[in-house]
Amino acid sequence: MTTLAKILAAALLSLFMTSCNIVMDGVKGEGEIVRKEKTINETFTAVKAKRGLDVVLIDSDDRKVVIEANENLHQYIKVYVEGNTLYVTSENNIYQADQKSVYVSYQALNKITATSGAGITADNTIVEKDLTIKASSGAGIDLKVNSDHLNSSVSSGAAMTLSGKVNSHDASASSGAHINAKELISKKASASASSGSGIKIYVKEAFNGSASSGANVAYYGNPKKVSKNDSSGGDVIKR
């Protein structure tokens, strides 16, 4: 075997072992779908979802969460409040499941975060004066909002889809992540994208956009005031 062949064989073996370790370090959903309810006594105004779990936000006076997942997954899924944040996470990575949903009843939210492949949706419009929404590390968020001021940000391959109405919207994206907010009507907006990321945003009055390092920003609507800056292969364009 030549030296090159040995190197390639070693690389393939390393890749195979890494893949095996990823699976071995995780857990697969097994058994019937089981529904369990948990009372949340603490007050929270923020939600953070992690590790690939699917979170559904429900505007309700009920102080509870409902978990629907394969029977063996319930022991790993953890929901708890720390500070003013309700965390939804798993002790082990779940690499396959028929269902891994967590329904979170809330009274008020001013910050929503998804990371590590988690997903967040809602059964209705999120209404809040000041709202921050963040997604990172391959997570996904799809929400309809009504807010005075919205701050949205995505990074590391995350994706966010927003609709509804806001007075002002500050959006940022980096590292291949994307925000689609062309169905979110805003009076004033700013958008900053870098490193191959993308933002689609709708604005009626005033817009400030910047894009760099292969990123792109597309703005919709007919704002009266426009300020834009693109560099290093970035693009800010009107749609």
> pTM of the entire structure?
0.89
Alpha-carbon distance 236 to 239, whole Å? 10
Residue 140: what pLDDT?
99
- Residues in Cβ contact with 10 at an 8 Å cutoff, skipping those fewer than 6 apart: none
Please check whether residues 47 and 87 belong to one and the same domain. yes
Is 214 among the domain residues? yes
* Total domains in the fold of the chain: 2
Is 119 among the domain residues? yes
pLDDT tens-digit readout, 147-187 = 999 999 999 999 999 999 999 999 999 999 999 999 999 99
Is there a contact between 58 and 125 (Cβ–Cβ < 8 Å)?
no
Please check whether residues 238 and 142 belong to one and the same domain. yes
39: tokens are 């009372």
Domain range enclosing 203: 135-239
Is 10 among the domain residues? no
Is 78 among the domain residues? yes
Residue 26: what pLDDT?
84
Strands 33-39 and 64-70: antiparallel
Tell me which residues of the chain have a pLDDT lower than 50.
Answer: 3-24
Residue 91 belongs to domain with CATH number = 2.160.20.120
Task: Match 């082990």 to its residue by tokens.
Answer: 92
Is 44 among the domain residues? yes
Is 9 among the domain residues? no
